[in-house]
Amino acid sequence: MNRVPYQFSQRATQLTSSAIREILKITERPDVTSFAGGLPSHLGFPAEQIRAAYNRVLADSPNVALQYGPTEGYRPLREWVVSDFQARGTHIDIDEVLIVSGSQQALDLIGKLLIDPGSKVLVESPSYLGALQSFSLFEPAYEPVATDDGGLVPEDISEEKADGARFIYCLPNFQNPTGRTMNLERRQALVERCARLNVPIVEDDPYGELRYVGEPLPGLLQLGREAGATVLRMGSFSKVLSPGMRLGYLVAPREIIAKLVQIKQATDLHTATVTQMAVYETIKDGFLKTHLPKVRELYRHQCQFMLDAMDEHFPKSAKWTRPTGGMFIWVRVDEKFDTTQALAQAVEQYKVAYVPGEPFYPGANAPKNTLRLSFVTVTEEKIRAGIADLGKLFTP
Amino acid sequence: MNRVPYQFSQRATQLTSSAIREILKITERPDVTSFAGGLPSHLGFPAEQIRAAYNRVLADSPNVALQYGPTEGYRPLREWVVSDFQARGTHIDIDEVLIVSGSQQALDLIGKLLIDPGSKVLVESPSYLGALQSFSLFEPAYEPVATDDGGLVPEDISEEKADGARFIYCLPNFQNPTGRTMNLERRQALVERCARLNVPIVEDDPYGELRYVGEPLPGLLQLGREAGATVLRMGSFSKVLSPGMRLGYLVAPREIIAKLVQIKQATDLHTATVTQMAVYETIKDGFLKTHLPKVRELYRHQCQFMLDAMDEHFPKSAKWTRPTGGMFIWVRVDEKFDTTQALAQAVEQYKVAYVPGEPFYPGANAPKNTLRLSFVTVTEEKIRAGIADLGKLFTP
């Protein structure tokens, strides 16, 4: 009898190959203009400062930097997070801060903490694909929550929808994939509703510092504390320093952090000490204050350039978001188009790539005619040509 | 009505505070001589080489080092792993290599891949506590496999025990916690039995390079390939370069790696690019060949010093292992002692810490009279005094 040599778990069996992964492979072809990527611009990486920081850390404190460290994270970096919140008017305690290996890891830890097979999880529709994939390993039942140009629609969280929900996951600032921002009224309504209905809020804010138009809005953690809601807030150094260092943090009530520390210990012991120290060394003296305006100006310029090209080349039947920050523009083309099917033609005929919108929808009945564009890493010339091509492709 | 503001998952609820964690807190007190740690010696960290490597990587290739990278890992580092296996006589392909954020993460990914709630998992008794904790998040049913001074006893894997087992987890070299090494005959018998009974083998080998007595034995991956067994082999840079960088790798059949890549993408996208490049830069020209002999000599000396002290001070009723590599000595004291209970007295009266053996046993009926000693980071003077004190404490 020939038995199989190994058996995958239920969760692994239901994993399918990631659409984003397959698309990222396309973007590696040098002849393709890719608006599909989610990569920050390397022009925003403060390479020299980071190099100098590693240099100092490894010259001054190698025995700490290269040794095992506490699961909670490097204490001065956690203190920096506390002071960063304080500067925005929110007092948090160091016991409410956990350092993670990029905010994608925070999703994994939260999934482990809060999701049982079949657990209801509320997610914006559409939402960040990487979060849907991460939570999916713990086999939740997704319940989509409506969104519009004002962001998530709190009224869509009915008592029935909220009943038994383990949490709601949302990206209030320059959401991935839509680039939309939840307005203040909605934020207030969301935290009040979640406080009343006992739904914890997972606030993912990787792009918050990339606002290039208008003033920052208060975050859900801040508003949630005033309203009595439970909020787990994820932050990241990926978009303000470097994604390749894989560093982020999670702020949550201390009894949640305490449990997450146990889970993280079992997951990877702790995030690399040397990386945490190098990031702390880079930012400790206020470096981000001078660095971020340059990154914002870069992203603002790229965004505006793409919006201008879209105004010029896209047909009237297409509608798109006009982000005030972040990395993405979301497009709804004429209903006759299926953007998933059209991708092959875009790449083959026009050598242009985008991300079809369908996989970002957690539920059934996803519209077929949406797509995500990133304007961050493409030159002006290629933006102009690529947008003109997409305009042709999606003209009914 | 007052409802709880959040609900933990089943897996999170059953997590208890880690014994190792609590013990590590004790070891932080400067007045305590700790044999409890699992820390490598910082005298073995090649700090200057690592500093220079980061410096070169961030000066020469900052745009790659600081950017997102492929989930599989930095290709030159994966190629290094291939060549390292080749040098030991085992041909592996690059598609069989996944870079991970320390080998603790490999345990998490393997748990996700292979364990469903209630799945049978075979583990050496006793085994590495961190692995038991990692797998436990996926709620397996552990089935202990007997060990003795020759390591794991393959004959204990009956057909009944093997039936339905998702894998067997073992540490063939200088096992944590016992310091024992599985002899060649046992290795051969294990891979043949596992091939016949269709039980995949997870081979964890963080200490393999720390052999300071005798010649290396062929690994289970190598023997398993010849015998037709499925082997997932975990390697780590923690004990040969630095644990604080959190870098390791997993070698397994390509269809297993392909699935693990999907899982790792959902878990943390990828391991930090800059870290992978810095490690590659450190080791690419054969650095480990000159570095490892120094580390081995350091560990050999420390081990021998502790063994000599034990020979002098421990009572006849105590038995212990005589490791040929690695970091740990395993002790069985007189049956009248309960080492968990005695720890408080050891710390309070003698200011000496060790790890009680009980939590390392996966099943019921763990002996109460075992303990683990690490000799790596303690000075000779403190080893002599601390061992003398433990000898007094455990004299019946």
Pairing between β-strand B248-251 and β-strand B370-374 as defined by DSSP bridges: unpaired
Is B274 close to A242, i.e. CB distance below 8 A? yes
Distance from CA of A383 to the nearest CA of B (A): 21
Give the H/E segment covering residue B391: helix B380-393
Of B318, B301, B375, B395, the closest CA to residue B33 belongs to B375
Q: What is the pLDDT of residue A17?
A: 65
Q: Quick check: B105 contacting A, CB < 8 Å?
A: yes
* Whole-number Å distance between alpha carbons of B11 and A168: 20
Tell me the three state secondary structure of residue A224. helix
Q: Quick check: A36 contacting B, CB < 8 Å?
A: no
Q: Which of A137, A198, A268 sits opposite B112 (nearest CB)?
A: A137
User: Does residue B242 contact residue A66 with C-beta atoms inside 8 Å?
Assistant: yes
* Whole-number Å distance between alpha carbons of A242 and A279: 10
Distance from CA of A385 to the nearest CA of B (A): 25
Q: Quick check: A11 contacting B, CB < 8 Å?
A: yes
Q: Quick check: B269 contacting A, CB < 8 Å?
A: yes
Distance from CA of B277 to the nearest CA of A (A): 11
Distance from CA of A319 to the nearest CA of B (A): 30
Distance from CA of B21 to the nearest CA of A (A): 9
Distance from CA of B19 to the nearest CA of A (A): 11
Q: Quick check: A136 contacting B, CB < 8 Å?
A: yes
Q: What is the pLDDT of residue B24?
A: 56
User: Does residue A131 contact residue A223 with C-beta atoms inside 8 Å?
Assistant: no
Nearest chain A residue to B51 by CA distance is: A58
**Which chain B positions have a beta carbon within 8 Å of A47's beta carbon?**
58, 62-63, 66
* Whole-number Å distance between alpha carbons of B78 and B71: 12
Q: Quick check: B3 contacting A, CB < 8 Å?
A: yes
CA A81 to chain centre: 19
The residues in B 357-396 lying below 8 A from A, measured between CB atoms, are none
Nearest chain A residue to B41 by CA distance is: A67
Is A58 close to B39, i.e. CB distance below 8 A? no
Nearest chain A residue to B12 by CA distance is: A113
ipTM for this model: 0.96
Tokens of A44: 């925003």
Distance from CA of B121 to the nearest CA of A (A): 12
> What residues contact residue A248 under an 8 Å CB cut-off, 6+ apart?
A99, A100, A101, A102, A103, A104, A105, A106, A206, A234, A235, A236, A237, A238
User: Does residue B352 contact residue B390 with C-beta atoms inside 8 Å?
Assistant: yes
* Whole-number Å distance between alpha carbons of B302 and B310: 12
* Whole-number Å distance between alpha carbons of A373 and A305: 13
* Whole-number Å distance between alpha carbons of B396 and B391: 10
Q: Which of A18, A39, A265 sits opposite B67 (nearest CB)?
A: A39
Q: What is the pLDDT of residue A173?
A: 98
**Which chain A positions have a beta carbon within 8 Å of B39's beta carbon?**
67-68
Nearest chain B residue to A198 by CA distance is: B5
Of A395, A354, A383, the closest CA to residue A35 belongs to A354
Is A105 close to B265, i.e. CB distance below 8 A? no
Is A268 close to B105, i.e. CB distance below 8 A? yes
Kindly give the parts of chain B with pLDDT less than 50: 1-2
Of A181, A131, A124, the closest CA to residue A157 belongs to A124
A95-120 pLDDT, tens digit each? 999 999 999 999 999 999 999 999 99
B59-69 pLDDT, tens digit each? 999 999 999 99
- The residue length of chain A stands at 396
Q: Which of A67, A101, A102 sits opposite B39 (nearest CB)?
A: A67
Q: Quick check: B1 contacting A, CB < 8 Å?
A: no
Give the H/E segment covering residue B148: strand B147-148
Is A45 close to B67, i.e. CB distance below 8 A? yes
* Whole-number Å distance between alpha carbons of B170 and B191: 12
DSSP B350: I
Can you give the three-state secondary structure of A298-335, one letter per residue? HHHHHHHHHHHHHHHHCCCCCEECCCCECCEEEEECCC
> What residues contact residue B197 under an 8 Å CB cut-off, 6+ apart?
B157, B159, B162, B163
Q: Which residues pair with A201 in a beta bridge?
A: A168, A231
Distances (CA, A) of A377 to A41, A330, A354, A372: 5, 17, 13, 14
Q: Which of A10, A47, A55 sits opposite B51 (nearest CB)?
A: A55
Q: Which of A54, A64, A130 sits opposite B58 (nearest CB)?
A: A54
Give the H/E segment covering residue B344: helix B339-345
**Which chain A positions have a beta carbon within 8 Å of B273's beta carbon?**
244-245
* Whole-number Å distance between alpha carbons of B71 and B85: 21
**Which chain A positions have a beta carbon within 8 Å of B34's beta carbon?**
none
Tell me the three state secondary structure of residue B341. helix
Kindly give the parts of chain A with pLDDT less than 50: 1-2
Nearest chain A residue to B3 by CA distance is: A198
* Whole-number Å distance between alpha carbons of A61 and B42: 11
Q: Quick check: A2 contacting B, CB < 8 Å?
A: no
Is B230 close to A5, i.e. CB distance below 8 A? yes
Is B18 close to A265, i.e. CB distance below 8 A? yes
Q: Quick check: B13 contacting A, CB < 8 Å?
A: no
Q: Quick check: A240 contacting B, CB < 8 Å?
A: no
**Which chain A positions have a beta carbon within 8 Å of B10's beta carbon?**
116
Is B263 close to A54, i.e. CB distance below 8 A? no
Give the H/E segment covering residue B274: helix B273-283
Q: Quick check: B273 contacting A, CB < 8 Å?
A: yes
Q: Quick check: B68 contacting A, CB < 8 Å?
A: yes
Neighbours of A94 (CB within 10 A): 14
Alpha helices, H only, chain A: 10-13, 19-27, 47-60, 62-65, 75-87, 103-114, 129-136, 159-162, 184-197, 220-227, 254-268, 273-283, 287-313, 339-350, 380-393
* Whole-number Å distance between alpha carbons of B142 and B117: 11
Is A9 close to B105, i.e. CB distance below 8 A? no
Is A263 close to B63, i.e. CB distance below 8 A? no
Is B269 close to A130, i.e. CB distance below 8 A? yes
Is A101 close to B101, i.e. CB distance below 8 A? yes
Distance from CA of B12 to the nearest CA of A (A): 5
The residues in B 312-331 lying below 8 A from A, measured between CB atoms, are none
Q: How many CB pairs under 8 A join A and B?
A: 252
What type of residue sits at position B342? A
Nearest chain A residue to B63 by CA distance is: A42
Q: Quick check: B42 contacting A, CB < 8 Å?
A: yes
* Whole-number Å distance between alpha carbons of B136 and B143: 13
User: Does residue A89 contact residue A223 with C-beta atoms inside 8 Å?
Assistant: no
Domains detected in chain B: 10-45+289-393 (3.90.1150.10), 67-285 (3.40.640.10)
Q: Quick check: B65 contacting A, CB < 8 Å?
A: yes
Q: Quick check: A273 contacting B, CB < 8 Å?
A: yes
Name the one residue in this structure whose structure tokens are 């009505």. B1
Distance from CA of B43 to the nearest CA of A (A): 8
DSSP B202: E
Can you give the three-state secondary structure of B210-239, one letter per residue? HECCCCCCCCHHHHHHHHCCCEEEEEECCC
The secondary structure of A85-119 as a DSSP string is HHHTT----GGGEEEESSHHHHHHHHHHHH--TT-
Distances (CA, A) of A84 to A80, A97, B139: 6, 12, 38
